[in-house]
Amino acid sequence: MARMDARAQDALRPVEILPHINKFAEGSCLIRWGNTHVLCTASVEERTPPHVPDGEGWVTAEYSMLPRANRERSRRDISKLKLAPRSAEIQRLVGRALRAAVDSRKLGERTITIDCDVLQGDGGTRTASVTGGYVALALACRKLMEEGVLREMPLTTQVAAVSAGIVDDVPLLDLCYEEDSSAMVDLNCVMTREGELVELQGTGEGRAFTIQEQRQLVDLCAKGIRELLAIQAAVLEGGAL
């Protein structure tokens, strides 16, 4: 099928990651993924939540969409006095994904919070948050190493994420908003540099899908994630490990 932006079925939208976008955060980047733009910042605190075992660190995330990130203005979560369920679900996903790349003991008793603020949303904001969030996390860890706060790099691998879906019975990689809104099947995938799955979220929006179709979508995601990992490594000048 012909895609609205003339991409191949297995092609990503253009992806650009601009590091050090915030001079105050320990790590930061702006990820531009097609028309989706997410600001990712990493903040370090010398304390951990009560549930974290002694001697270990913690990586967590917060996610929010700015009021005009979408086609119509949305209310800020603070105006509703509670976090929107979608925001809560996405920030838990981002936190889980990034913790998969960290040795919590090497991080020590400190917390790194990754804030993902969507400046403009056109599909794939959660996958952009994971992919950009890793770069912000890696830059923060590198800064801690350079300052002598950490003796060993706590990162153990890279992680990135991408979506795929079935539109008009055709598997497609990296859905934009228009494709996502009409998708029969939607799947989000988080993988490590070694090709291991961290998270797989698949939903039959318009119809059920088969195991074979799921494998097709995962294979598409694996191809896209390999490309995203290369972009991350280039931004980090060969990697943060």
Higher pLDDT, 216 or 82: 216
Residue partners of 140: CB distance under 8 A and separation at least 6: 25, 26, 27, 42, 43, 44, 112
Tell me: the pLDDT tens digits for 96-142? 999 999 999 999 999 999 999 999 999 999 999 999 999 999 999 99
Model confidence band, residue 69 (pLDDT cutoffs 50, 70, 90): confident
pLDDT at site 68: 80
Looking at the DSSP bridge assignments, the partners of residue 102 are: 155
Give the residue among 175, 166, 180, 167 at the shortest CA–CA distance from 210.
166
pLDDT at site 84: 81
pLDDT at site 81: 58
Structure-token pair, residue 6: 């003339």
Tell me: the pLDDT tens digits for 27-47? 999 999 999 999 999 999 999
Tell me: the pLDDT tens digits for 58-67? 999 999 988 8
How large is the average pLDDT for residues 73-85? 74
Structure-token pair, residue 123: 């599909």
Cβ atoms of 179 and 3 within 8 Å: the answer is yes
pLDDT at site 4: 82
Q: Residue 98 CA to chain centroid, in angstroms? A: 8
